Amino acid sequence: MILTIGSLKGGCSKSTLTVNVAAELARLGKKVTVVDADPIASTTNWVADREERSPDLPAVIGVQKKGNLRATLLDLEASADFVIVDTGGYDSQELRTAATASDLLIVPMKASPLDLDTLPKFVKVVEGIMDFNAELEVRGLFTQASTHAMDKRLDESRDILSDYPEIPLFDTTIYQRSSYMDVMPVGRGVVEWSDSKAKAEIQVLVQEMINLG
């Protein structure tokens, strides 16, 4: 299964999701390759940190690639259970070519109305991709949601998404938790850490993804 994580926004948790989903799939015994298509290389750094600082954990293979990803992804899929592509926070050849080869396009969005301004443009990008890959499943995912009970931004964001049937939401929401920041430099996922709430949300998310495959 090939998953692309894409958005026209920076900082919406693409790399955080890539590595946390990879760690959970690896924990489940799956062969996982992550493809870093963002020159910032957060995912590549995580793979290197994992090898160096957490060598006893299940391996995740890392590949860096720019330009047209389609053939590379189809090739990598032959030797992995899951290929996960982390893209940059902008419209790119990498995002579009990866999505044409993917089973699932995951669209992370910060759970705040102000962060949803690129959605109309993103829907156009998705429509263009689906001309080449009509089978593509697309799912939105709210990230960095506030854990404060009084905060209404998640509800407001869900309301806005109801106007975009092209991007149905995962049931799972990812909340703002310091463990997501803490695990990155040691090459771990939150499923390999002590925060049971973060672990549970990633595990439920991964089950949702597997069920789509």
Ligand X SMILES: Nc1ncnc2c1ncn2[C@@H]1O[C@H](COP(=O)(O)OP(=O)(O)OP(=O)(O)O)[C@@H](O)[C@H]1O
Q: In the complex, which residues of this chain contact ligand X (CB under 6 A)?
A: 10-16, 38, 40, 42, 88-89, 143-144, 174, 176-177, 180-181, 184
For residue 9, state whether it binds Mg ion (rule: CB under 5 A): no
Output the DSSP codes for 80-136: -SEEEEE--SS--HHHHHHHHT-SEEEEEEESSGGGGTTHHHHHHHHHHHHTT-TT-
Question: Counting Cβ atoms within 10 Å, is residue 82 exposed (0-12), middle (13-18) or buried (19+)?
Answer: buried
SS3 of 171, please? coil
The residue of the chain with the least Cβ separation from ligand X equals 89
The single-letter DSSP state of residue 59 is: P
CB of 11 to Mg ion, least distance (A): 8
Nearer to Mg ion, 42 or 54 (CB): 42
Nearer to Mg ion, 177 or 194 (CB): 177
Nearer to ligand X, 31 or 54 (CB): 54
Nearer to ligand X, 66 or 79 (CB): 66
Taking the C-alpha atoms of residue 205 and residue 171, their distance in angstroms, rounded to an integer, is 8
Task: From the list Mg ion, ligand X, none, pick the one residue 16 interacts with, judged by a Cβ distance below 5 to 8 Å according to partner type.
Answer: ligand X
Binding residue (CB under 5 A) for Mg ion from 4, 7, 13, 15 = 15
Taking the C-alpha atoms of residue 201 and residue 175, their distance in angstroms, rounded to an integer, is 8
CB of 118 to ligand X, least distance (A): 12
Q: Number of residues interacting with Mg ion: please give it, by CB under 5 A.
A: 3
Nearer to ligand X, 79 or 183 (CB): 183
CB of 99 to ligand X, least distance (A): 16
Binding residue (CB under 5 A) for Mg ion from 14, 27, 50, 139 = 14
Residue of 133, 207, 192, 190 lying closest to 13 (CA atoms): 190
CB of 87 to ligand X, least distance (A): 8
Taking the C-alpha atoms of residue 84 and residue 3, their distance in angstroms, rounded to an integer, is 5
For residue 16, state whether it binds Mg ion (rule: CB under 5 A): no
Taking the C-alpha atoms of residue 194 and residue 46, their distance in angstroms, rounded to an integer, is 19
Query: CA-CA distances (angstroms) from residue 110 to 84, 89, 202?
Result: 20, 13, 16
Nearer to ligand X, 31 or 153 (CB): 153
CB of 156 to ligand X, least distance (A): 18
Write out the binding residues for Mg ion, residues 20-59 only, by CB under 5 A.
42
Looking at this protein, which amino acid is placed at residue 83?
Answer: V
